[in-house]
Chains A and B, each alone.
Chain A
């Protein structure tokens, strides 16, 4: 009597791989394993592709330009409307402050983003009064090319700031004349996968 799933025995694929002799059986087994391994590899590859696709589909990009005569006031010049306010305030920490965060490690604060929606604005981030956005931006040690990252904080029912879990990455190529804000929806805790993805994207987009 043969038991299905016995060690060394491959079941359920006999029809497509008929064995005729012992030698052939051993060769066929090798072929089956090769076939299965190839299948697993291709599935993994698909996972990786899906991951990139997933990151891509959750990625939003906004460009803000510094208002002339100001140091911290920026106006939206590119990117989808109705998500972030048209005017935001971006301050940079002149001296990096080291914070012990709730995530149990020390992080350097590099800046802050503050903005308030207008009365008529509609946005996924405008839920409760006073309708503000407040994000602390922290240094990314392996990727100083970006000014930092943060959790998009919005005002909650009790009027306090509450994290949304949406990852924000701040980037400036021209020493803060323009700033790029990248948002990855719901990916704050996957930030270690997002940073290399965005860096790779930056490398592809910047001129050769």
Chain B
């Protein structure tokens, strides 16, 4: 679903209608900032000398006061509404930035899931707080955040009860939002050719957004799900370090056991003799066996790769 959008319209001889706008500020650069009356979520920027009009904000929040869902009809309704208020055809305006994402229901706490999504090659990882992470690129970024908490904090009770009745929202469940933020959508999705707002209604283009979200998600390096031993004895400080090491082995494309063995080998005989080394090797192997043998521990996070869940959700979205 579409969320935040930034639309730029080059005006010809026509002037936008200001009847529904509330003036907020004027800048030396010639830009004037407005809000659509009664809705602080939707900003309208107008530069008379450049003949430019920008509309920025979250369309779902503007149209329905939440972003739990936002279908094609609602998207169409919101653009038609703003177009008629401004008396400007926004369908033929340029899509300068936008967000496309999906909210999925997850079994584990989003915070824990987010922690196990480590990085995307070529992108910077930013973590504002434990329940949000951004993989920042030049053209686009990928955001993961706790959508459940966001809704609890942002939405009125009335809206939440409406979501429960009409859209199956359950306050007790966990929700994670996975979202692509396109800073230069024409480069990310359209081989450098500009994108108009109408493109978002063309099925082929919308499918492209879905595919890109899936492929960006697939690019995230995730930690492997590991087993945490049930007994306290097995959880010595040394073993916890081993667990953490094992967890990150897939990320760095290494074999934890091989690395440990080579480390053992490199320790001089004077410090650890052959028998000491053998004993430690045996202990480490036992510990590794415990965390890789299902049934002897508690699986942390029930698996961290949410690709299949996201794919299934996107298939249902229109």
Q: Which residues of A contact B (CB under 8 A)?
A: 141-145, 172-175, 177, 196, 199, 202-203, 206-208
Contact = CB atoms under 8 A, between A and B. Distances in A.
Given A203-B194, A203-B196, A174 B89 contact: yes
Contact of A145 (B12, B89, B203): B89
B88 A143 contact: no
A207 B92 CA distance: 10
B203 A142 contact: yes
7 A-B pairs with least C-beta separation? A174-B14, A145-B91, A175-B87, A145-B198, A207-B10, A145-B92, A144-B91
18 contacts: A142-B201, A142-B203, A143-B201, A143-B202, A144-B76, A144-B198, A145-B89, A145-B197, A172-B89, A173-B14, A174-B12, A174-B13, A175-B14, A175-B87, A175-B88, A202-B92, A207-B10, A208-B194
B84 interface: yes
B32 interface: no
A80 B313 CA distance: 51
B155 to A, nearest CB: 29
B88, B92, B197, most chain A CB atoms within 10 A: B92
A202 B17 CA distance: 24
B92 A177 contact: no
A206 B202 CA distance: 19
B123 interface: no
B256 interface: no
B206 to A, nearest CB: 10
B21 interface: no
Contacts of B203: 142
B79 interface: yes
Contacts of B87: 174-175
Interface in B84-104: 84, 87-89, 91-92
B201 A173 contact: no
Contact of B198 (A143, A173, A177): A143
Nearest to B79: A144
A60 to B, nearest CB: 21
Nearest to B76: A144
Interface in B1-52: 10, 12-14, 17
Contacts of B193: 203
Contacts of A202: 92
Contacts of B17: 175
A188 B157 CA distance: 50
Nearest to A195: B202
A207 B80 CA distance: 21
Contacts of A141: 201
B72 to A, nearest CB: 9
B204 to A, nearest CB: 9
A203 B199 CA distance: 10
Contacts of B14: 173-175, 177
Nearest to A172: B89
Given A141-B201, A144-B201, A174-B14, 15 more contacts: A142-B201, A143-B202, A144-B80, A145-B89, A145-B196, A145-B198, A172-B89, A173-B12, A173-B89, A174-B89, A175-B17, A175-B83, A199-B198, A203-B194, A207-B10
Nearest to A207: B10
Contacts of A196: 202
